[in-house]
Structure 1
Amino acid sequence: MATKRTPSPQRHTQLLEEESFSWYNSGRFYPVHLGEVFESRYQVLGKLGYGSVSTVWLCRDLKEREYVTLKIYISEHRQARNELNVFTHIRAIKTSHPGLKLIRTLRDAFELPGKLGAHQCLTHKPLGLTLSDLRKQCGGKLPGEPVINYLLLALDFLHTEARVVHTDIQESNIMMTITDDTILKKFEYEERDEPSTCKVDGDRVIYASRALDIPDEPGYPVLCDFSNAQFGEEYYIGEVMPDLYRAPEIVLGIPWNEKIDIWSIGLMLVWDLFEGKHMFNQRLPNRDLSSAAHLARMITLLGPPPMDLLQRGKVSEDFFDKDGRLVADIVIPATSLESEEENLEGEEKALFLQFLRSMLQWEPRDRKSAKELIEDPWLQIQ
């Protein structure tokens, strides 16, 4: 049940936020209004952000007298059901593992009726900057060691106790905790006194997002967005992971497990944050060519793939001949991890590359677990 106050929006002809998606269907996004109260409890204060399948709002919990974020999915979306199932599974785990506080957890869930079906809603404790935002504030690089330690601890909990594979570890899915509610209060007051841009579209109002202020102390990192996470099986099939972070087994069509998260940590947390650049960044118009270029880059950095791995791949023959040679005519300049690492020298560089290689292995079983990585010599000397 929702009550609402009527806003006074201006009319705009330009596409605004979620409208900019080429497949946008207004009937699939729930028509939120500022001031609206859901479940006789959650009062909408302002829009925090949007994505391809959801919008996110800062709300006041009138029952607990505190702030919450509210994620409202588009109608009847697979990811909504999946994320709720994962959060429910995690919430049922009784544990004292310190990694639990380093993942986003569910506070409440409910559904709203819509024109094209039900909208799944999830509430969470508010979080602040994403890791991507924080890196921009730091000029492109971060002192990554504390972040790496925290996220490895989060993954150790997910992999060993929850038996969950995240599948989508990237900077935008890691957010920093808020240590002072002042920035949430300021958001509320500014939205009330100087409302964000909004636009009328028939019977709905589309709002522009308002960013939270940058805090003096960003808190610690929390792993978020479990909409593509998987649990309950030893191995899984199908394509997952952002293109830039795809592990070899994903590209080759090999059943995968939690070791794809370890590959992602190596690329995103260790390399991208520490070096300030992507290890894989070539995108071609044809997806098969992009995959071939991705594999070619792996070969230059890691050496050739094991034949046993290729033999297990459902689509290996699309990229390799029977002798394990790449068949696509892809020119990748010769290079190495040693030559591309530009920030360290001597023993520290050797330990860093050893740490990186323990995650970036062709063969998933050769990658260290999160628990093993926490004890790695490179992290111990930082």
Structure 2
Amino acid sequence: MRPSLLKRARSHTNRQAISDFMHSRGNSPHPAADTISGHKTIEEETLPKYNADTFYPVRLGETLNDRYKVLVKLGFGMTATVWLAKDLKAAENSGNRKYVTIKINVNTLSDDYLKGRRAIAQKLFSANPDHVGYTHIRFMLDTFKVKSKHGEHLCIVYDVLREPIDLCMEKFPGRRFSCEKIRVLLPALLTGLDYLHSEAGVVHTDLKADNIMMGLGDPTILDRFVQRELEHPAPRKAPDHHGRIIYTSCSDFGEAPTMAVIASAKITDIGLAVFGDEKNYKPIQSNAFMAPEVILQCGWSYPADIWNLAVMLWDLFENFGLFDSIDTRPGHYQPAKHLGLMIALMGPPPKEFLKRGAKSNQFFDSQGEFKYPDYVLKDLDWEASVSRLRGEEKDLFIDFAKKMITWVPEERWTAKQLLEHPFLTKERDPNYLTPTPSLSRASTASMGSIIPSRTATPGPPPTSHPVGGSTLTVPSHPGPSSSSPKPLERTSSRPSTPGQADLDLSRPPSRASTFSMNSTNLTTRPKPKERATSDTTHLASINVDNKCSQDLINSILNRPKHPKANGKVHEEPIMEEPS
């Protein structure tokens, strides 16, 4: 079973929702906060390398940088704690905009690491602000430093977003995205990835549900959230011998996200991002998301993010992860078993691809034969990996996934190409899709032997997608072997700028590229410009299956469109109850 990738405490137990917890308290309008025993480790104290001297001793109510009043703890990570604060310089009637998120980093980040993050942040901010994907990347608003008795702490200010989507989805029926919701979320993520790859030349390297957040939607949601916390303050531990109060986190904003909120999703946390115009070989990605070129050390670039996105779909939509039958915990992960599952899905890797891998000989012999055939599970295939869809919808979903999950990175479709896939663009008849209750985890028994626990050119013509309140026009893509396509364009006026470049430093510097970050207020917006280099120069060829994929797509789309055709009952897709 893959463990949780983020540490978030929402009450005395991880399972209890914070709203239920708070409403269970006394009726006093402003009760004192509950005190947690000093013998119990909570929040950042539970981290394996926690050192109290490296974390800033935040106190609720204190004002940072003579501007930001700290109100609520939102979360924590290996190298930072995250807080909701009120911007004292903002107008009182500015709704959610008078609040900000502040990430307060540990005091051990190296100057080289900070310089590297600054270079990435500046590129993201300046590449092409008119690109539609610009609004789907989280940017920073301000930076400053605070001092503690053990050193300086870099603080990064962001706009406030909802919880990561792996927490938001707990409010959906079945605690999973429905097919309709996935088709709203994906255009936001793909346009954001297209901006990262084709405009900024940046590889995220750690794309997963933890690092995707949505907008707030309701303009009063934060006022109500802060009032609720005032009336029901979160439990905390008394100051320890270091003088730190350990507060419990609260980041549950209540209502389930609407479709409009889902469409506002943003890619966050660029703490491990790197430039992609040159081959990289260092380890990246969480174990469950590791791409084959990363495991075999073939050199990786932008397509590694596409692989990440595809694997993440199962975490959002299915009742099991695509590779959940392997143990991905540190010290337990076996890349040979991971490769065995990939072979079960995709067949053996091409020999030419194996020749590129510095570690290929650890897993494959000189003839390209896999050394661990027992790890190739016979029961795992594309059909068995998707349990919540039927008929045409299932075929389109699998075809969409196959465009991202390929051995050879250059054969994966780009983010721009994936936006044109019929799984996203095909119009659905709501009267034809019969809603059914979402499947329970028990209903995935057919995958029991595989999953022991949960967890060509594109077909259609140019299509307009509603994304984040604007219309995205996707031009026809000539294919990876042709010249670079034009950037995606917004057909309506772009909303107000989200702020300056994102600079997310909540990760260890050992996995980041290295640059200074003393004055990172990027207050002057650069003029829009196009990247001189093609976003498809890394694509050398197209998989033979992809060349023929249009025939498959056409056969799917030309099926009978009504339950009864030629006197026979046509199989209907199984869908969740609509939102």
Decide: shared fold, TM above 0.5: yes
**Aligned counterparts of 1:72 and 1:249: Cα–Cα separation in 2:** 34
Q: 1:74 to 1:273 in 2, by over 3 A?
A: same
**Aligned counterparts, 1:291-310, within 5 A:** 291-310=335-354
**Aligned counterparts, 1:121-200, within 5 A:** 121-138=155-172, 139-143=174-178, 144-199=182-237, 200=239
Q: Is the 8 A contact 1:108 1:123 kept in 2?
A: yes
**Aligned counterparts of 1:14 and 1:124: Cα–Cα separation in 2:** 32
Which residue identity is paired with 2:177? L
Identify the range of structure 1 (216-225 vs 97-106) with the bigger mean alpha-carbon deviation. 216-225
Q: 1:156 to 1:40 in 2, by over 3 A?
A: same
CA deviation string 1:338-382 (max 9, x = no partner):
232223333333322221111001000000000000001221115
After TM superposition, give the deviation of residue 286 of structure 1 in Å: 8.0
Q: Is the 8 A contact 2:33 2:233 kept in 1?
A: no
**Aligned counterparts of 1:265 and 1:228: Cα–Cα separation in 2:** 16
SS at match of 2:375: coil
**Aligned counterparts of 2:168 and 2:312: Cα–Cα separation in 1:** 14
Q: Is the 8 A contact 2:33 2:234 kept in 1?
A: no
CA deviation string 1:295-348 (max 9, x = no partner):
000000110011111111111111111122222464342121123222333333
**Aligned counterparts, 1:1-382, within 5 A:** 10=35, 12-65=38-91, 66-77=98-109, 82-138=116-172, 139-143=174-178, 144-199=182-237, 200-202=239-241, 203-215=243-255, 217-218=257-258, 219=261, 220-231=264-275, 233-269=277-313, 271-281=314-324, 282-283=326-327, 290-328=334-372, 330-334=374-378, 335-381=380-426
Q: Is the 8 A contact 1:82 1:229 kept in 2?
A: no
> What does residue 442 of structure 2 align with?
none
Q: 1:115 to 1:247 in 2, by over 3 A?
A: farther
After TM superposition, give the deviation of residue 225 of structure 1 in Å: 0.7
Identify the range of structure 1 (111-120 vs 352-361) with the bigger mean alpha-carbon deviation. 111-120
* TM-score, structure 2 normalization: 0.61
Identify the range of structure 1 (244-253 vs 318-327) with the bigger mean alpha-carbon deviation. 318-327
After TM superposition, give the deviation of residue 40 of structure 1 in Å: 0.7
Which residue identity is paired with 2:409? P
SS at match of 1:208: coil
**Aligned counterparts of 2:233 and 2:33: Cα–Cα separation in 1:** 10
SS at match of 1:107: strand
Which residue identity is paired with 2:312? M
Give the RMSD, CA atoms, in angstroms. Answer: 2.2
Q: Is the 8 A contact 2:120 2:275 kept in 1?
A: yes
Q: Is the 8 A contact 1:59 1:67 kept in 2?
A: yes
Q: Is the 8 A contact 1:307 1:324 kept in 2?
A: yes
After TM superposition, give the deviation of residue 183 of structure 1 in Å: 2.5
**Aligned counterparts of 2:199 and 2:185: Cα–Cα separation in 1:** 21
**Aligned counterparts of 2:300 and 2:329: Cα–Cα separation in 1:** 26
Identify the range of structure 1 (193-202 vs 65-74) with the bigger mean alpha-carbon deviation. 193-202
Q: 1:278 to 1:97 in 2, by over 3 A?
A: same
Q: Is the 8 A contact 2:283 2:294 kept in 1?
A: yes
**Aligned counterparts of 1:16 and 1:186: Cα–Cα separation in 2:** 26
**Aligned counterparts of 1:255 and 1:57: Cα–Cα separation in 2:** 37
Identify the range of structure 1 (274-283 vs 23-32) with the bigger mean alpha-carbon deviation. 274-283
Q: Is the 8 A contact 1:73 1:80 kept in 2?
A: no
Identify the range of structure 1 (122-131 vs 72-81) with the bigger mean alpha-carbon deviation. 72-81
Q: Which has the higher strand share?
A: 1
Q: Which has the higher helix share?
A: 1
Q: Is the 8 A contact 1:107 1:123 kept in 2?
A: yes
Identify the range of structure 1 (332-341 vs 280-289) with the bigger mean alpha-carbon deviation. 280-289
Q: 1:114 to 1:256 in 2, by over 3 A?
A: farther
Q: Is the 8 A contact 2:203 2:276 kept in 1?
A: no
Which residue identity is paired with 2:134? L
Number of residues of Structure 1 aligned to a counterpart in Structure 2 = 375
Q: Which has the higher contact order (CA 8 A, sep 6+)?
A: 2
Identify the range of structure 1 (371-380 vs 93-102) with the bigger mean alpha-carbon deviation. 93-102
Q: 1:112 to 1:263 in 2, by over 3 A?
A: same
Which residue identity is paired with 2:359? V
Q: 1:283 to 1:376 in 2, by over 3 A?
A: same
Which residue identity is paired with 1:53? T
Question: Structure 1: which 5+ runs fail to align?
Answer: 1-6
Identify the range of structure 1 (234-243 vs 38-47) with the bigger mean alpha-carbon deviation. 234-243
**Aligned counterparts of 2:61 and 2:371: Cα–Cα separation in 1:** 59
**Aligned counterparts of 1:272 and 1:205: Cα–Cα separation in 2:** 35
After TM superposition, give the deviation of residue 217 of structure 1 in Å: 4.1
Instruction: State the identity as a percent.
Output: 35
Q: 1:94 to 1:297 in 2, by over 3 A?
A: closer
Q: Is the 8 A contact 1:28 1:115 kept in 2?
A: no
**Aligned counterparts of 1:278 and 1:216: Cα–Cα separation in 2:** 23
Question: Structure 2: which 5+ runs fail to align?
Answer: 1-31, 92-97, 428-579
CA deviation string 1:127-161 (max 9, x = no partner):
01321112222223212111111100110111111
**Aligned counterparts of 2:58 and 2:74: Cα–Cα separation in 1:** 13
Q: Is the 8 A contact 2:166 2:316 kept in 1?
A: no
> What does residue 4 of structure 1 align with?
none
Q: 1:278 to 1:9 in 2, by over 3 A?
A: closer
CA deviation string 1:166-199 (max 9, x = no partner):
1111111111100124231123223333321122
**Aligned counterparts of 2:328 and 2:245: Cα–Cα separation in 1:** 38
Which residue identity is paired with 1:300? A
Q: 1:206 to 1:345 in 2, by over 3 A?
A: closer
Which structure has the larger Rg over C-alpha atoms? 2
